[in-house]
Amino acid sequence: MLNYFRVKRQPEKVVPDLGAISVSMLEGDAHLPFTIRQLNNLPEAVKRRVYRGLIPPNLLTRFGIDPIHWTGANKAPLVFLKAEANSEKVLITAQSSPDIKDEFFALELADNSLNGVELNLVVLNDPTTPRYSIDTTEDGQPTMFGTLKRNIEAEEQAMHAGLAPGQVRAGLGGSRVVFEQLDAFLSMLGHRAYFLEPLTYASAWVFERRGFAYVRGHKLMDDIQRGFQVGGSLHQSLDDGFVFRKPDQASTVRGRAWAIHDGILDTLDLRWDKIRMVKQIGRHAGVETFPQAVY
């Protein structure tokens, strides 16, 4: 009879290491998951066909892009796939015009060390809205979305324009369809879940609404929620001492996100770090660390 459990310190690969995808493998167990690396080692035409499934067709047709040919007016290519052989990553981007500044969609997936899937990047921008250069300093250095360096002036303008930290443009909306498409794509590959590390408090909130739970950092989100209540230490630090510390920031997701981006978690001796989220495919976790939140 089962009597006790011991903690396994070393996680196992839930998806086994397999070789290249062969026809015999395709004819075998239809439930076995494939990795991104295995997909990337398929012939170009097969890759192209398979990765078409990563983008919701109506996201492309909205910008006049043919969902099969990936071209716009005058047959200009507007969707780009980077899926190199032997690479564990795939990156798809889409632009509304040949000018790269008009990029409105970017998505990068990667295999992790357990042969699960990470969503490294998802960007949905409205190319018709103003762009804020929070991604470069005044002398042109990359800021890494404001995590490595900061362009304070651009951030302040972005915040007043209603952007969240890390955004260069207003969001496009329609992320629900993108995530549903991603669920379907990964299910087709045979995966049951995928993982990500949210860049900001605002992105974590969006992912909660999309049905993600936390692998790490659920308690941190609860601590933040408590800290921003009236009387909490984060609320008290919104003392109007700086542009990113206005008292009314406690009551919105974006406001909190800017304060956290600005380092307010130092008051709790904490950092926005090591938060990890998981999406169980086909399921919604129902997490709401900021109930009745106003974005």
Partner 1 sequence: MTSTHRITRAAHLESLDDFRKFLKEHCAPHAGITAEILYDLQLAVDEACTNIITHGYAGMDPGSIILDLEIDASKIGISITDFGHAFEPKSMPTPDVEASIEEREFGGFGLFFIQQTMDEMNYRTTEDGNTMLLTKHIINPTGD
> Using N-to-C axis directions, what is the helix angle for 201-209 and 253-261, rounded to 10°?
140
* Tokens matching residue 238: 């919104």
Residue from 221, 250, 253, 260 in contact with partner 1 (CB under 8 A)? 221
What is the Cα–Cα distance from 256 to 140, expressed in whole angstroms? 28
What is the Cα–Cα distance from 264 to 257, expressed in whole angstroms? 10
* Span interacting with partner 1, options 10-18, 65-73, 234-242, 247-255, rule CB under 8 A: 10-18
Least Å from the CB of residue 91 to partner 1: 23
- Residue with Cβ nearer partner 1 (94 or 221): 221
Residue from 192, 209, 245, 246 in contact with partner 1 (CB under 8 A)? 192
Element (H, E) at 37: helix 36-40
Q: Residue holding tokens 């969707």?
A: 79
User: What are the two backbone dihedrals, phi and then psi, of residue 102, each rounded to the nearest 5 degrees?
Assistant: -95, 25
Q: Does 30 bind partner 1 (CB under 8 A)?
A: no
Q: Which string of x and - marks every residue 105-144 that binds partner 1 (by CB under 8 A)? A: -----------x----------------------------
Residue 168: DSSP 8-state: S
The footprint of partner 1 on this chain (CB under 8 A) covers a number of residues equal to: 38
- Residue with Cβ nearer partner 1 (191 or 256): 191
Residue from 21, 25, 50, 213 in contact with partner 1 (CB under 8 A)? 213
* Tokens matching residue 244: 């990113």
Residue 56, exposed/middle/buried by CB under 10 A (0-12, 13-18, 19+)?
buried
Q: Which string of x and - marks every residue 269-288 that binds partner 1 (by CB under 8 A)? A: -----xxx-x-xx---xxx-
Contact indicator for 83, 162 with CB cutoff of 8 Å: no
Residue from 4, 24, 240, 292 in contact with partner 1 (CB under 8 A)? 4
* Span interacting with partner 1, options 66-74, 95-103, 154-162, 187-195, rule CB under 8 A: 187-195
Q: Does 31 bind partner 1 (CB under 8 A)?
A: no
Contact indicator for 222, 229 with CB cutoff of 8 Å: no
- Residue with Cβ nearer partner 1 (8 or 75): 8
- Residue with Cβ nearer partner 1 (121 or 281): 281
Element (H, E) at 23: helix 23-26
Task: State the amino acid at position 105 in one-letter form.
Answer: F
Q: Which residues bind partner 1 (CB under 8 A)?
A: 1-9, 11-12, 14-15, 33, 116, 191-193, 213-222, 274-276, 278, 280-281, 285-287, 289
